[in-house]
Structure 1
Amino acid sequence: MDWEDALKVYDEIVDACNGFERKGKKMIYTSSNGYMFTLLNKDAEIGIRLPKDKAVKFMEDYNTSHYYSYGAKMKDYVLVPESLWGELGSMVAYFEQSFVFVNSLPSK
């Protein structure tokens, strides 16, 4: 999928969520409490920040890996496989779970 199409999917997911909105023009992300919690990188890949135990389970359940952006491994982020992008309910649930997670962390 090209970047423009990935951006449309990302925006559709964020628009269906409660409590936050998409930020950025070239670097696309969501953030709360001083932390980014979802990203769309330049390679048209979506990453979600999850607690360690949930990140491990996500990677096992979806046969995916850690998320990289601009060549750097993003701590606590998982790569969302494109096969999951079309499952709006699941994607919203993961985005909102990530939002709750970063709001449980100490404020930056």
Structure 2
Amino acid sequence: MTAVAEHAWIVDHQADLDADFLAIYGIDLETRVVDVKRFLALANRTPAYDGAMAAVVAAEQQKEQQPGSGRADESQQVDVDGMNLIVPGLIERVEV
């Protein structure tokens, strides 16, 4: 899995992460710039705390445990522009 695919979930959970960063870490992502490496490290830890991302993970786990909810191998598309809006500099575009 590429680093981009590994962090693609961030695009879908921007509001949840914003709430968790403020509640858990005291970081307002609207007013404070966070280094990419630190942002990703903190974002990946948010499900460990009692917050929005923990609720998302719990709901996904419950959904996966229901009969007939098994997912076939899906290719994951990544919104590169969306990722760069959330975490500037995470992905560098290369024109070929």
Higher relative CO (CA 8 A, sep ≥ 6), structure 1 or 2?
2
The structure that has the greater radius of gyration is 2
Q: TM-score, normalised by structure 2?
A: 0.31
User: By percentage of residues, which structure has more strand?
Assistant: 1
User: By percentage of residues, which structure has more helix?
Assistant: 2
Q: TM-score, normalised by structure 1?
A: 0.28
